[in-house]
Amino acid sequence: MIVSKFVFITGGVVSSLGKGLTSASIGLLLRSRGLKIRMLKLDPYINVDPGTMNPFQHGEVFVTDDGAETDLDLGHYERFTCRPMTQASNITTGRIYSDVIERERRGEYLGGTVQVIPHITNAIKDAIRALEKPGVDVILVELGGTIGDIEGLPFVEAFRQFNLERPHGDVMFIHLTLIPYLRASGEIKTKPTQHSVQKLREIGIQPDMIICRTETFITAEHRAKIALFCNVHKDQVIQEEDVANSIYEVPLMLMNQGVDMSVCRYLHIDPADADLTDWKAMLDRVLRPEKTVEIAVVGKYTSLTDSYKSVYEALAHGGIEHRIKVTFRKVEAEDIEEEGAEAILSGVSGVLVPGGFGRRGTEGKMAAIRWARENKIPFLGLCYGLQCAVIEYARHVCAEPEAISGEWFDEEGEGDLSKAYVALMDSQQNVTAKGGTMRLGAYDCKLKPGTKAYEIYGSEMVQERHRHRYEVNPEKVETLEKNGLTISGVHPEKGLVELIELKDHPFFIATQAHPEFKSRPVKAHPLFAAFIKTATEESEKRAQ
């Protein structure tokens, strides 16, 4: 018999409360008690997935092993729970509707009127139940957006029905809300939370636990008030204060208030003792760093941290591994175009160029890469970062000043395709749809013995996640190699370039993949760990 239990997590008052972090933290706590968990993020927007959305609007697109382009909250889930997510872990309104409409076209509703209730709500419940498998103890379901949003309603209604259909003790509702602090009067306010819970109750959902995001400590009196007006027991009013140092403190903050045991009690689960040894050891390294290093991240969306979420996290993990605190110089590539690399990058210990799309900013990225290459400053390139590094190398080392990416030709008719060092592969030639059509998900990469990459990864065959259309042009590999670029990793069957590096440089490595998605605070990705370590050592050497 399948006996999974469910925790539904909703948000109140405002968005960006850290619902993803809180859900991930609860996931970690349950897992640390030996429970097998699954996580699901439901997004009420109409895009089928976030793959086509602008990073400025939505932040980073997180890619799973099975090639799903998903919400960045799945990144938190993976980083906290150390479990890979899948296509089934992120469902949007767009996905639900497109499935229902497809079924309608196939005649599967037998002439009936297709409606939000029951057809859309049934499809939502099916998506939730799809995660229910023998052996899975708890499924955490996080709803994006805020209670009261029109677009979220079908989901909340589906939750209500879901609860009704399950035996008592199978479902728990957690509401995460903001308790604002009014500086002028020095008070905290519970009214918005009361209203948010009223909205939930109107639809028929009574939260079992309220997690309060606050700037300051909330007193027992306030807790009692929230409990009374929101109809929850006062022990179930939890405080999630802003953390001073690291988001990785959140799980312990919740554990100290008994959140994990409360969830288990509600769901009638008798768990093992919590084992957070690795997490606590990691936190100790975060909170007591011995060194600091500054890394420049040269991108196009640097004003919004979420656009490169996993990249910043992975860099931080690299530091955590070696008790090094990583600080970021967030550089807009176009500023380098205006002011020059030296003016903007001078003093940093490492340069990272992340993934990206389109021509804008690429000259600045290439100038940054050239600066790092010539000044022997450690450089790590990710995806577009590798492509820019290859074109920069072709232009300035292989004496191919007209080297371009086919992407620029396709976008703006720029240049001559015979000079494309980065080109569209056959499989992408006739693809016109934008959504879900890239090279996506985990692919093998075979490393060349004797290279730095081989040494860093410590194995010959590795798997990394991809999300791109263009590849290093196989016809140009010979020129690149002849001029001293090392191809340190290739796709074993297709021979496509996966990793490049330079010999006479302390650390100049770029990958066609997105290793940042697989980095964890308790286990940094080896490329990031090695990058931060070398960047720190090299800057120490320069300082001597």
Active site residues: 383, 514, 516
Q: Does 356 bind ligand GLN (CB under 6 A)?
A: yes
Amino acid letter at 320? I
Task: Give 179's contacts (C-beta < 8 A, 6+ positions apart).
Answer: 188, 189, 190, 193, 212, 213, 214, 218, 222, 226
Query: Of residues 51, 145, 355, 526, which one binds ligand GLN by CB under 6 A?
Result: 355
Residues in 403-432 at the binding interface with ligand GLN, rule: CB under 6 A = 407
As beta bridge partners, residue 174 has: 9, 209
Q: Which residue has the tokens 């919400």?
A: 71
d(CA 510, CA 452): 11
Q: Does 469 bind ligand GLN (CB under 6 A)?
A: yes
Task: Give 418's contacts (C-beta < 8 A, 6+ positions apart).
Answer: none
Residue with smaller CB distance to ligand GLN, 226 or 422: 422
Q: Does 357 bind ligand GLN (CB under 6 A)?
A: yes
Candidates 30-38, 109-117, 466-474, 536-544; binding stretch for ligand GLN (CB under 6 A) = 466-474
230-241 as b/e: b if 16+ CB within 10 A: bebeeebbbbbe
Size of the site for ligand GLN (CB under 6 A): 11
Residue with smaller CB distance to ligand GLN, 301 or 371: 301
d(CA 224, CA 240): 16
Q: Does 75 bind ligand GLN (CB under 6 A)?
A: no
Candidates 47-55, 165-173, 380-388, 499-507; binding stretch for ligand GLN (CB under 6 A) = 380-388
Structure tokens at 534: 């070398």
Candidates 25-33, 37-45, 451-459, 464-472; binding stretch for ligand GLN (CB under 6 A) = 464-472
From residue 470 to residue 489, what is the string marking binding to ligand GLN with x (rule CB under 6 A)? x-------------------
> Do residues 508 and 372 touch, judged by C-beta distance below 8 A?
yes
Candidates 7-15, 196-204, 221-229, 350-358; binding stretch for ligand GLN (CB under 6 A) = 350-358
Q: Does 467 bind ligand GLN (CB under 6 A)?
A: yes
Q: Does 464 bind ligand GLN (CB under 6 A)?
A: no
Residue with smaller CB distance to ligand GLN, 240 or 407: 407
Distance of CA 407 to the CA centre of its chain: 25
Query: Of residues 379, 384, 408, 454, which one binds ligand GLN by CB under 6 A?
Result: 384
Angle between helices 19-32 and 73-81 (to 10 degrees): 20
Q: Which residue is nearest to ligand GLN (CB)?
A: 355
d(CA 17, CA 13): 9
> Do residues 53 and 90 touch, judged by C-beta distance below 8 A?
no
Q: Is 298 helix (H, G, I), strand (E, B) or coil?
A: strand
Q: Which residue has the tokens 């419940």?
A: 125
Q: Does 58 bind ligand GLN (CB under 6 A)?
A: no
Q: Does 365 bind ligand GLN (CB under 6 A)?
A: no
User: What is the binding site for ligand GLN (CB under 6 A)?
Assistant: 355-357, 383-384, 387, 407, 467-470
